[in-house]
A = this chain, B = another copy of it.
Amino acid sequence: MEKFYITIGREYGSGGRLIGQQVAKELNIAFYDRELIVLAARESGFAEEFVQKMEQKRTISFINNLYMTGYELPVSEKIFLAQSKVIQKVAEEGSCVIVGRCADYVLRDKPNCFKVFIHAPIEERIKRIREEYKEDQSNLEDYIRKQDKNRASYYNYYTHKKWGRAQNYHLCIDSSIGISTAVRMIKELVTEYSKR
């Protein structure tokens, strides 16, 4: 198989990032996540911190952005375009795993793009975030749901599709079946295609 791409959408705290890292490691291909922001920031000339802040703030502030920038493209749109350019650039360089950033949408015309979505029951995610991320939010459930809401509105806005709708992905996995099982299934997905 020529170059291939695994894009991973994920609920907050579902272990999607961890799964992506492991898949990339086992397949010996590149892995991109927050690094993308850094690259995108460089490309577009925005300071990294500012880009991150905009990302966090983003719900559907299109109107607000329009007002801020007059007739120019809104800031958040510029950031999205810059990130999309980065995604396309790293995809040109070689096979990779990309977590988040609507990469499935950005690479939608690539023939070997495998789209994965990872989710988990809320109790498992609270547990993971408490143990692994050392988050000290008083109400973790509210916090998690808010993060998911942000991810969903970001995805829905830019892709015009529905975040977490099974039909948008080749494989959706509840990570409570085990991180290593999820990793194995994603690798199987790629292997099966490569046989064709």
Residues of A that sit less than 8 Å from B by CB: 11, 117, 119, 164-167, 169-174, 176-178, 181, 184-185, 188-189, 192-193
Contact = CB atoms under 8 A, between A and B. Distances in A.
9 contacts: A11-B167, A164-B166, A164-B167, A165-B165, A170-B173, A170-B174, A170-B176, A181-B189, A185-B188
A171 B172 contact: yes
A166 B155 CA distance: 15
Contacts of A166: 117, 119, 164-166, 169, 172
Contacts of A189: 177, 181
A147 to B, nearest CB: 14
A58 to B, nearest CB: 22
A119 B189 CA distance: 15
Copies of this chain, how many? 2
Contacts of A177: 170-171, 189, 192-193
Contacts of A172: 117, 166, 169, 171-172
A119 B178 CA distance: 23
A171 B119 CA distance: 10
Nearest to A173: B171
8 closest Cβ pairs, A-B complex: A172-B172, A166-B172, A170-B174, A181-B192, A166-B166, A164-B166, A119-B167, A117-B166
